[in-house]
Amino acid sequence: MSPPSPKASRRGQTLRRRVRLRQLELLAALEHAPTLSQAAREVRLSQPAASKLLGTLAEDLSIELFERAGRTLRPTAAGRALIRHAASLVGNLDRAQADLDAIADGLVGVTAIGAGVGACYVLVPRALSLLLEQAPGIAVTLREGPMEEMFSMLRDGRLDMVVGRVDSALVDRDFVLDELYDPPIHIVAGPGHPLARAGTVTWTTLAEQEWILPQEGTPMRAGIERIFQRVRRRPARCMFESSSIQTNVSLLNARHMLWVLSADISAYFEQLGLLSILPVESLRGPAALSAVRLRDRSLSPPAARLMDCMRAAAKEAAAVDRGKSRTFHNGKNNRRAPPSAGSVATLPSTHKIKA
């Protein structure tokens, strides 16, 4: 690789010497704000003042950062790179402030994690419980939402890690994926469903029931559709499409319907008396629950401690799953007796489940 040109070296020195925090904050806001005016409002600037800050920075660096596209301002390749780095820098400053505030309040430190909805029922609560037992001086901020949104927050420094079902093949090279465990998938019904009391259920019987299907376009939907194709059975009535866990649990308690759900969450709702896991052998999940972090950012000591608790919680959950699987295969629980030959299916492993 050839050494940087003298002009590029001078530009790097100028950036360190001349860039102002206000400019970095404005650039960081442009990471997610759709317009300059909205980004300016976020950092409490007028639009003319924001335009002047960006113009001054571009002049100091002797490089074009933005270009006009009609009435909108669009970042150039250099602008996009600077916005990305500014978001990371501002995120790190915010995290440093949070650490200082925590220490001032007598805490050891803080950490922030994002999680898909599915991880927030069993894995994440257990990990947080372990952390409270082992390190009660660590404060935790938890954000729940779609994985794409969580990854965006991880990239710009607002999160230390993201936990959820993630296909390793789809993870950006900027991220490091730490696989935790891979819970299987169950077919579930409300506790009052006639099949909840059955000893054996075949796919022919399942296909005769009314189903809630995962939302169209989600990997879980594609997976269950492939199962229907493989067993050559498809439910005759699929009047609802939903990936909302709370809504679907309520529907299953109101009507005799079936649904597919992760084993750990299925067990959670079964213990509450809100769902019944049907006596069909578990289906393989499309992807494991994993913790994801940025490759070029080391975990802080509080975040590393939480990661250890996440791994411990995953081992506990996996042990519970293995115990239930042995009970199933040994035939010790008549409700979990396997269905007739040819009725067992597997979700394709090339997909991920969106929480």
Residue 309's nearest CA partner among 173, 178, 167 is: 178
Whether 165 and 290 have beta carbons less than 8 Å apart is answered as yes
How does DSSP classify residue 63? S
What whole-number distance in Å separates Cα of residue 178 and Cα of residue 27?
31
List domains and CATH numbers for the chain.
6-87 (1.10.10.10), 89-182+289-319 (3.40.190.10), 185-285 (3.40.190.290)
Mean pLDDT confidence for 239-255? 92
Summarised one tens digit per residue, pLDDT across range 148-195 is 889 988 988 889 999 998 877 767 788 999 999 988 889 999 999 999
Model pLDDT, residue 346: 34
Q: How confident is the model at residue 94 (pLDDT cuts 50, 70, 90)?
A: confident
Amino acid identity for residue 5 in this structure: S
Q: Inform me whether the pLDDT recorded for 301 exceeds 60.
A: yes
Give the list of residues 6+ apart from residue 76 with CB closer than 8 angstroms, or none: 64, 65, 66, 67
The percentage of residues in the chain with a pLDDT greater than 90, rounded to a whole number, is 32
Mean pLDDT confidence for 257-276? 93
How many residues in the chain?
A: 355
Give the list of residues 6+ apart from residue 58 with CB closer than 8 angstroms, or none: 64, 65, 66
pTM as predicted = 0.67
Q: How confident is the model at residue 83 (pLDDT cuts 50, 70, 90)?
A: confident
Model pLDDT, residue 73: 82
Model pLDDT, residue 339: 33
Q: Inform me whether the pLDDT recorded for 348 exceeds 70.
A: no
Mean pLDDT confidence for 93-119? 81
Model pLDDT, residue 12: 52
Model pLDDT, residue 331: 47
Beta strand segments in 42-137, E: 66-69, 72-75, 109-115
Model pLDDT, residue 7: 55
19, 118, 125, 129 from 115: Cα distances, Å: 34, 8, 11, 16
Whether 160 and 113 have beta carbons less than 8 Å apart is answered as yes
